[in-house]
Chains A and B, each alone.
Chain A
């Protein structure tokens, strides 16, 4: 190591630059990629449920009730003799639809309210008081109460889970908007008379994308869990729809003689939520270099 310069300047420097961007992401965030792959696989399987399901998920078949897993029914049957595997394949659809819809809806609503609050001082005072109040009500409790409003349906479930999530997004967006407003280039844009919609599209939205994507991922994971909790408690997705929460709610009565009714949908739920959370952690590390350098 006499030639010191070569050690510092040469070495392994050029090699990583040649690798592809995708390969670099896989190498640096293997857990995130694994989470994403599992999630996408689950989504594809859920979409193909009608093709993949070996049995009808709804039709009753009392002869085969509470059958343990075997070659006919890979994951056993429930108390009505319905195939667990088929019901779970359809259940994945409910979880994904609810999770995705809640993530999108709360992000859009939160973005809208957050930008208004961050931009207009007067609206800010009022909107943030309302958000503080909403955040003072524990989320699941608020969702449960909202479920009592009207007849249960998937749409109502989505709305009931979305509303408690909105304030968190609003706070996030507002904080970003407030900090960006103070930037010199935005002040300059305001000074030369840039109109609000343009200001918003050019300067504000691009800066909210990264934190919003991360937040939306976590909301997705949480919404999947809350949907299952609501259904499990009997106040969520209508019982005739085979959601994982509903399957578990029915299965819990027989948990001591037919554990598979709780175990399999519970595990599926855990795997889905885990894959989304891991994806979120990876996105956070990737999109927020400050955070990842620390960890």
Chain B
């Protein structure tokens, strides 16, 4: 088992190396002169030269790369060109709403999707199954902003129930913090729920066909026991894997949702950075978010040892 853990952890290194190279190349593969783009349309040649030196763009690419990596390892993500502040600080300032939305959506979706997916698989072919799957493919196809604006118009504005935009820190006012999360979580969560429910159903269907399920039923066990102990325990690994991989999709959705509900999170930071061509911020955000994503999936891989006793190598 320790061998498995160590190999899993070591596997993160090449992945993050590739991420770092890609992020670095985002600036340097640019067909146009990055310095000129950053400087903007009204910049003089001197301005451009200044930026070029400031970013170290005048030196050989490989040296730039190693210097950049060396700074990264020390936790230095560089400074924003537009806001002239350390990128790490900018991200940390914006991380709370994004993280809060991601976590609340994950909880919402898992709580909703697992029972629905299991039910659909158990009743495969019945009208319950067909109804659940029809709603799932519908939710799966609806753009987040349409659900978002629908909720805002339909629920919040008509009846004045919930705040429709912005964000309040949990340290400031926990109940308003939660109130602000409700609508974005539902808007984003429906899509993610649909994805998870579809995956849960197909995994459970496969497992319900296994011989050991027949054995469990031959023992005279009651349905909940067959379903929740024998089937779900086997489905755990594929399901948590989907939850982990789905986080990539979730992060994309978070960016859009933040925009719909005017939440000042990392997504907004990223969009602003793209509009201002603030490359260090873009690079920093991608590195941090990807690192976070890889870390979550590493943790999920480590939970396999809990769910599946066969993992020993």
A interface vs B, CB < 8 Å?
A: 129-130, 132-142, 144-151, 221, 225-226, 228-229, 232-235, 248, 252, 255-256, 259, 262-263, 266-267, 269-270, 273-274, 277-278, 281, 291, 294-295
Contacts and interface: CB of A to CB of B under 8 A. Distances in A.
A141 B252 contact: yes
Interface residues of B, number: 59
Contacts of A149: 26, 29-31
Please classify the interface of chain A as helix (H, G, I), strand (E, B), loop, or mixed, using the class held by over half of its residues: helix
Please classify the interface of chain B as helix (H, G, I), strand (E, B), loop, or mixed, using the class held by over half of its residues: helix
Interface string B242-263: 0000011101110110011000
A150 B285 contact: no
Nearest to A290: B206
A270 B22 contact: no
B205 A295 contact: yes
A252 B286 CA distance: 27
B125 to A, nearest CB: 7
Interface of B: 14-19, 21-23, 26, 29-32, 37, 124-125, 137-138, 140-146, 149, 152-153, 157, 202, 205-206, 209, 247-249, 251-253, 255-256, 259-260, 270-271, 273-275, 277, 279, 282-283, 285-286, 289-290, 293-294
Given A136-B18, A145-B283, 8 more contacts: A130-B18, A133-B22, A149-B29, A234-B271, A235-B275, A274-B142, A294-B209, A295-B202
A291 B256 CA distance: 33
Nearest to A142: B286
11 contacts: A133-B16, A134-B18, A136-B294, A137-B22, A138-B252, A141-B289, A233-B255, A235-B274, A263-B146, A294-B202, A295-B205
B255 A141 contact: yes
Contacts of B37: 150
B141 A145 contact: no
Contacts of B270: 141, 144
Contacts of A294: 124, 202, 205-206, 209
Q: Max chain B CB contacts within 10 Å: which of A130, A134, A140?
A: A140
A265 to B, nearest CB: 9
B252 A221 contact: no
A139 B252 contact: yes
B235 to A, nearest CB: 14
